[in-house]
Structure 1
Amino acid sequence: MRDWIDVELVKLLRQNARQSLAELARRLKMAGPSVSERLKRLEESGAVSGYTATVNPEAWGYTLTALVRLRPFPGQLKTLEARLIATPQVIECDKVTGEDCFIARLALHHIQELDEILDGLSELASTASSIVKSSPVQRRLPPLQPRD
C-alpha cells in the first residue's frame, strides 16, 4: 500500500535525488529511520528503482535530437532491435504497435551523424525521421497517487 507520504517522498527524490535522509525526514516532518524504512520498502517493491543525475546533452555537444520511426524488413525485427540497442546515440527506443515497430530518440552532434546512423539501419528497416525543434514536455512521472 502506498500512501501520501510515499508520494511526497518520491516527488522530493525526483526534485533532488542527492538529498540526505535527514533532509528528506525534515521536509516530510518524520523521523529519519521512518523515512529510511519507507525508502527501503519502495526500492524493494520496485516503485523506486534507481537514482540518477540529469545531464544536459547540449553541454556535451549533442545539439540535435531526432525521432526515427522504423519498420523492419521481413525477418529483421530481432536484428534491428539488437542494432538499436548497440547504437549509443539511441537514447530511448519504444517498441510500438501500428505500421512502425520502433520509435527511437537519437542524440546527435550534427546532422551528418543522423545520415551515418540511418545508412547503417537501411539494410534492416525503412525509416522516417524528424528533427526535434523543442520539447515542451520533458520526460516526467505520471500523476502519483496513494493506492491500496
Structure 2
Amino acid sequence: MPWKQRLYGIFAFDYNYYFMDSISIKILKELQKNARLSFAEMGRNVGLSAPAVAERVQKMEEQGIIEGYGVRINLEKAGFPIQAQITIKTATHDFKRFISKLDNFPEVFDCVKVTGEHCAFLKVAVKNNQHLEDLIDRLTEYGHPNTSIILSSYTQNPAIE
C-alpha cells in the first residue's frame, strides 16, 4: 500500500494510518465483548453517534486493525472435552512439510511458530484419550511431539485493555 505523505518540517504524516485514540479503543473493547452490538448501542456506550461509530469501525477494518469477526466455541460442549498443548520439534524441511499439511489435522485450532528448542506450539481439541493418542501418532511423521493436557484455562481471546 503506497503511503501518502506530506512533510512539515522534519515530521512525516501517513494519511493512510488510522490513529487509535481512547474512543477507538473503547469501540474495540465493545466489539470484543459483543461483536453483534448495533452501531447505535455501541455509540451510546462510547459517547458517539451510530454513523460516527460505523465510520470508525470501517476505518479500522480497512487498516487491518479489525481482521474479522468470529464466535467463541465451548469446545467441551461441542464434543471435544480434552484440550492439549503439543510442542513439536522437527527438522527444517519437515517443519515446512508439516505446515503445508496442517489442514490434515482438524484437531489443531492454534499453531504458532516459535524460537527455541521447539518449532511450534499447537493447541488441539480431541474427543477422548484415544483420539489424542491417534493425533500424536500422526504428528510423529513430522517430528517429535511433546504433549501436555490442558487442565484449566484462565484467559480467553486476547483483548485490548
Fold match by TM threshold 0.5: yes
- Residue 126, structure 1, aligned to residue 126, structure 2: no
1:24 to 17, 38, 42: 42
Counterpart in the other structure of 1:111? 129
Query: Is 1:41 the equivalent of 2:26?
Result: no
Deviations 1:34-75 (A, max 9, x none): 111111111111111111121111111110001111011353
Aligned to 1:64: 82
Is the contact made by 1:21 and 1:35 (CA closer than 8 Å) also made in structure 2?
Answer: yes
The letter of the residue matching 2:101 is R
Give the secondary-structure state (helix, strand or coil) at the position aligned to 2:40: helix
1:91 corresponds in structure 2 to 109
Name the CA distance, whole Å, in 2 between partners of 1:100 and 1:83.
18
Q: Note the residue ranges of structure 1 that are not aligned, 5 or more in a row.
A: 144-148
Q: CA RMSD in A?
A: 1.3
2:134 matches 1:135: no
Quote the offset at 1:24 in angstroms: 0.8
Scaled by the length of structure 2, the TM-score of the pair is 0.84
Letter paired with 1:81: I
**Which is higher, the Rg of structure 1 or of structure 2?**
2
User: Structure 2: 5+ residue runs without aligned partners?
Assistant: 1-18
**Local SS of the residue matching 1:41:** helix
Q: Which has the higher contact order (CA 8 A, sep 6+)?
A: 1
Instruction: Give the structure with the larger helix fraction.
Output: 1
Which residue in the other structure is 1:51 paired with? Answer: 69
Deviates more, 1:75-84 or 1:117-126: 75-84
> How far is the alpha carbon of 1:84 from its aligned partner?
2.9
Name the CA distance, whole Å, in 1 between partners of 2:160 and 2:122: 21
Q: 1:86 Cα shift?
A: 2.9
Could you say what secondary structure the match of 1:7 adopts?
Answer: helix
Question: Which region of structure 1 is more displaced relative to structure 2, 47-56 or 93-102?
Answer: 47-56
Alpha carbons 2:28, 2:160 under 8 Å: kept: no
Between the two proteins, the alignment pairs up a number of residues equal to 143
**Displaced runs of 4 or more, over 4 A:** none
Q: CA deviation at 1:114?
A: 1.1
TM-fit CA distance, 1:122: 1.1
